[in-house]
Amino acid sequence: MIRRALGAVVPVGAALVAFLFGAIMIVALGANPIDGLVAMLDGAFGTRERLATTAVRATPLLLVGVGICVAFRAKVINIGGEGQIVIGALASTAVALAVPGTPKVLLLPMVIVAGMVGGGFWGAIPGALKAYASVNEILSTIMLNLVAVQVMNYLLRGPMIDPLEVEGSRIPQTERLTDNAALPTLLSGTRLHLGVVIGITAAVAAYVLLWRTPLGFRLRAVGHNPNAARASGISVERSIVTAMAISGSLSGLAGVVLVFGSESLRMVTDGSAAGFTSAAGFNGIVAALFGALHPLWTIPSAFLFGGLLTGANNLQRVLQIPSPLAVALNGIVVVFVVSSGRVRTWIEQRIRQPVDDRGASAPVAGGGG
Amino acid sequence: MQPQSSPAPAMSTVRVVRNLVVLLVALAFVAAACGSDDEEASNVATSECGTDSSFDEATEPVTDLSVAIVAPSASQDLAFTQSMVDAVAALGIEPQITDGTFQVEAAAEAIRGYADSGVDVVIAHGTQFGGSLAEIAPDFPETSFVWGTSSETQGLDNVFAYTPAADQGGYVMGTVAAAISESGTIGMVGPIDAGDAALYVDGFVAGAESAGANVNVSFTGSFGDVPLATEAATAHVGAGADVLTGTAQHVVGAINVASANDIPWFGTQANQESLAPELVVASQVYHWEVVLADIFDQVEAGTLGGEVYELTLENNGLVIEFNGCYELAEDVKNGALETIDGIIDGSISTGA
Amino acid sequence: MSDFFTLSVLVATFASGVRLATPYLLAGLGETVGQRSGVLNLGVDGVMLLSAFGAYWTSLETGSLLLGVGAGLLVGLVMGVVYGIITVIFQAEQGISGIGIYLFGLGFSDLLFEEMVGTPTPIKSLPKYSIPGLSRLPILGEALFEHNLMTYAAFLLVPLVALLLMKTTFGMNVRAVGENPEAADSLGVSVGLTRFAAIMVGNGMAGLAGAALTLGLGIFQPNLTQGLGFIAVALVYFGAWRARGVMLGALLYGIVAAVVLQLKARELIPLEASDLAAMAPAVLTIVALVVVAGRIEAPAALTNPFSRH
């Protein structure tokens, strides 16, 4: 019981300490930290509309995060989310551009599949390179993120550019995509759209996949002990490629949601990945680890980080606090929370030392490597 | 042995507090110096050498309207965002600013938030915000939205649009660059071949070629990669370029290459003299205030949108700001003035 | 193409590649030391941004490049203490805490720049220093021996880091705690202290990398690195945790980028294909590793926190 309570209290306490640092920085910037906190909470959760926006901003983090959970269970670190989001978005956008007249019931599933295939392909490449050519996935995913950005720049200012832009301002963006592919709004007057449901469904599906299917069993077996898995007849190579493909396809799905759930309903580049993804490929990793690498816990975790994004936006608007503060604060929260696992075991040891000495287990966020 | 906190953020905080003093002093200077141009509007300007021309004395605000800016890069990027922030300041207005939000969803939130909080005029300073504006503007019929760069208002009657004819200034500077180049080779460092950067490049190349020079254009593939822009400029110099120009935030690196090699530089979007006081020949500066003053008048009179404005040499929205510290031959400068006239009266086509 | 294949152009291209490679090399060497001890630091980019700002601001205020380099090193070391506390004392998961450090560095350096400087203001950049004698060498002279001191330092650190890792007691301890911390511990090596020291070395070098970047350019702006630190981490994997391998990776990456820029400056790459050309360094790095892939394993305890049971 104590253990379970500590599991919740310690990370929350760590987040509070992190916010204390945020408050000090806000004071240094000449604003009132209480006003700052109120502005953040109000911006993130203050109204029905804002809650909906927070959920929308959380969805790409959730999808990437769920993909991280799947890859991690097979002991693969996927830091290629940025590139996979971009390629997934490009693939789905290409479909919407190619067959805009298709009825919604058909087109929406088509763009979703295209995005998942695109992201899955971009994830399978480092998977295959790792499995069959011993290329470390950290190297290949970082490089493939860079490649994906240039693919995006090439396509959006060349083959996929809005024809109006060729003669006009030459903005590297597609035309406004057909409403037939737009993710329908679920709650009128808010931004809440189908993508949020897709994200939650994906999290549940990943849970079922990992713990209720033979494939999930194989992935976890490979992650747990590749040699034992191989000895029992599991193809380690194929499992690694599969894990990365699934992880990539979920990031690709995040790309679909970013394009077809946006108000602008088009894809546009500023020449960088983060300009399109808002760094969801990285923040999704944070959300997953905050959710203890469990697909279902990643749901509330992503929602909280979505709240940090929308709250920070309001903070800048209301108090004129520069936006980089929010990025820095995000980093501090991550560092404190991830460091808190050890504090938890210390407290546990202190409480239970005479009885049980097993307290020194893995940190709460899960051990790496 | 439980550490209460880790030292780095604490130390950083100390640093922040200490430096806040420095900052406040700096801000005080800026605030004191900030203001507007009370010279008569013109499409050509020449700074007085030895003075900081970027800040003029303050004036009374031209309007009581509350104004907010949502912009993609930093307010002081010496480029796209700064051009708008400076323009609003030039009208004596203190806007609320949300900067550094290229990502459309974040910008949309900010735009909606300002409208919701009762701001009269929301400037959405980025083409990519247009799609969101189409959703947001109808929800706030009492708010005026000003959006660019764009050549259409999307049929919304509370949206004004603006766009710069960046090729015009590019063309003028291309002719000047060709005139001062001895090797006949000019190096251009661009980000990606798109947007107003592409218009500037096209205009510049056309202008330089009309005057018999060749422009080597390299796009680095990034807006912010300073090392790459630096090496791109170095490569241009190696390939024989004796005049350099470029666009986007990463040109700060290329300008340093110009400085190191004593090579003249042409800037665009904002005045870049501060980066190389001796070598910036001229900058094409976006003076949005020409457009904004008119828009604010319209809003006060009850018209909240429906019109498209273009910054051109003709309406003095594009200003070729010559650097007084660079000794440009009189005949070359006069040639530039003639080119400007030619573009205005239509006898010269920039090809864009 | 004939324009390109002249000696002077090739030499200039190589020199340009060496300049581009410098920050990757410094950061990559530091990361190599850290990873050899079993600690992954994905936050290199954040450390570089903070130290670059520190170096830039110090030089801007004092006019001294030397103080700037010192400030960059100092910021790197401070971040080393932070990262050591996070990963050694608190035993936090390394991948995620690195991302936390990155986000903090990205945001905080931007914030400090906006509050303390505001507008990108040029500073004096590191001067080139021709090595007497050697710089007169045909071809090699210009390509290798006309650089700034940070570039020389980076390449000089290659054999030094190799020696440190392979020939010193400290290096043996680092490798031992990276391969098998339990065994090292049983032999009386302090796993925590060794890792902490390796982290300090790594972050200090990341600090130098940030200083080399900003002082080499003579300018700072928000997100100056544009993800450079992540590429440096990737190059450690490319180099198979060996100083020489990391150097080859950094040179490959830098020179390919330089070749692309030289070709563009001579209009040998059509504008339509400029984005495709820009991906060349990343693609070739992957291809090169596939082609020459040896089955070199990572340090066995990489990313594993250690606690005595």
DSSP string, A97-125: HH-TTS-HHHHHHHHHHHHHHHHHHHHHH
The two structure tokens encoding residue A26: 């806000």
Question: Quick check: B256 and C16 CB within 8 A?
Answer: no
Question: Quick check: B221 and A271 CB within 8 A?
Answer: yes
Question: Quick check: C86 and B23 CB within 8 A?
Answer: no
Report how far residue C18's alpha carbon sits from residue C22's, in angstroms, rounded to the nearest whole number: 6
Question: Quick check: C97 and A338 CB within 8 A?
Answer: yes
Query: Does residue C273 surpass a pLDDT of 60?
Result: yes
Q: Where in chain B is the domain with CATH 3.40.50.2300?
A: 47-165+287-311, 167-286+319-345
Which residue of chain B is at minimal alpha-carbon distance from A329? Answer: B9
Confidence of residue A4 (pLDDT cuts 50, 70, 90): low
Query: Which of B72, B99, B131 faces A270 most closely, judged by CB atoms?
Result: B72
User: Where is average pLDDT lowest: A234-243, A245-254, C271-280?
Assistant: C271-280
User: What is the predicted pLDDT for the residue at A369?
Assistant: 32
Question: Quick check: A24 and B6 CB within 8 A?
Answer: no
Query: Which of A129, A135, A339 faces C97 most closely, judged by CB atoms?
Result: A339
User: What is the predicted pLDDT for the residue at B1?
Assistant: 33
Q: What percent of chain A has pLDDT over 70?
A: 93
Identify all chain C residues contacting A153, using CB atoms and an 8 Å cutoff: 275, 278
For an interface test with C, give the residue of A338, A342, A357 to mutate (most C CBs within 10 A). Answer: A338
Confidence of residue C59 (pLDDT cuts 50, 70, 90): very high
For an interface test with C, give the residue of B25, B252, B271 to mutate (most C CBs within 10 A). Answer: B252
Identify all chain B residues contacting A262, using CB atoms and an 8 Å cutoff: 104-105, 131-132
Tell me what the mean pLDDT of segment C1-27 comes to: 87
User: Where is average pLDDT lowest: B12-21, B123-132, C33-42, C151-160?
Assistant: B12-21
Query: Which of A29, A332, A343 faces C104 most closely, judged by CB atoms?
Result: A332
For an interface test with B, give the residue of A145, A171, A258 to mutate (most B CBs within 10 A). Answer: A171
Report how far residue C15's alpha carbon sits from residue C9's, in angstroms, rounded to the nearest whole number: 10
Question: Quick check: B19 and C116 CB within 8 A?
Answer: yes
Query: Does residue B17 surpass a pLDDT of 50?
Result: no
Query: Does residue B14 surpass a pLDDT of 80?
Result: no
Tell me what the mean pLDDT of segment A265-281 comes to: 85
User: Where is average pLDDT lowest: A211-220, B101-110, B337-346, C17-26?
Assistant: B101-110
Question: Quick check: C266 and B216 CB within 8 A?
Answer: yes
Which residue of chain A is at minimal alpha-carbon distance from B194? Answer: A170
The domains of chain C are located at: 7-292
Tell me what the mean pLDDT of segment C157-172 comes to: 96
In CATH, B47-165+287-311 is 3.40.50.2300 = yes
Query: Does residue A323 surpass a pLDDT of 90?
Result: no
Q: Which residue has the higher pLDDT, C8 or C279?
A: C279
Q: Does B255 touch chain C (CB under 8 A)?
A: yes
User: Where is average pLDDT lowest: B128-137, C78-87, C167-176?
Assistant: B128-137
Question: Quick check: A263 and B106 CB within 8 A?
Answer: no
CATH of the domain spanning C7-292: 1.10.3470
Q: Which residue has the higher pLDDT, B9 or A355?
A: A355
B280 in Cβ contact with B320 (< 8 Å): no
The domains of chain A are located at: 59-286
Query: Does residue B55 surpass a pLDDT of 50?
Result: no
Which residue of chain A is at minimal alpha-carbon distance from B129? Answer: A264
Q: Which amino acid would we find at residue B109?
A: E
Chain C neighbors (3+ CB pairs < 8 Å): A, B
Q: Does C107 touch chain A (CB under 8 A)?
A: yes
Which residue of chain B is at minimal alpha-carbon distance from A280? Answer: B103
Report how far residue B273's alpha carbon sits from residue B288's, in angstroms, rounded to the nearest whole number: 19
Query: Does residue A362 surpass a pLDDT of 60?
Result: no
Question: Quick check: A331 and C105 CB within 8 A?
Answer: yes
Tell me what the mean pLDDT of segment B201-225 comes to: 93
Query: Does residue B7 surpass a pLDDT of 50?
Result: no
Task: For domain B167-286+319-345, give the CATH superfamily.
Answer: Response regulator (3.40.50.2300)
Q: Does C271 touch chain A (CB under 8 A)?
A: no
Chain A neighbors (3+ CB pairs < 8 Å): B, C
Cα of B225 to nearest chain C Cα, Å: 6
Which residue of chain A is at minimal alpha-carbon distance from C305? Answer: A367
pLDDT in tens, A274-313: 888 888 998 898 899 888 889 999 999 999 989 988 888 8
The closest of C137, C125, C157, C136 to C59, measured between CA atoms, is C125
Confidence of residue B300 (pLDDT cuts 50, 70, 90): very high
Question: Quick check: B255 and C261 CB within 8 A?
Answer: no
Strands B280-286 and B243-246: unpaired
Identify all chain B residues contacting A176, using CB atoms and an 8 Å cutoff: 131
pLDDT in tens, A101-139: 999 999 999 999 999 999 999 999 999 999 998 888 888
Question: Quick check: A289 and C302 CB within 8 A?
Answer: no
Confidence of residue A2 (pLDDT cuts 50, 70, 90): low
User: What is the predicted pLDDT for the residue at A245?
Assistant: 97
Q: Which helix (H) or strand (E) holds C232?
A: helix C228-238
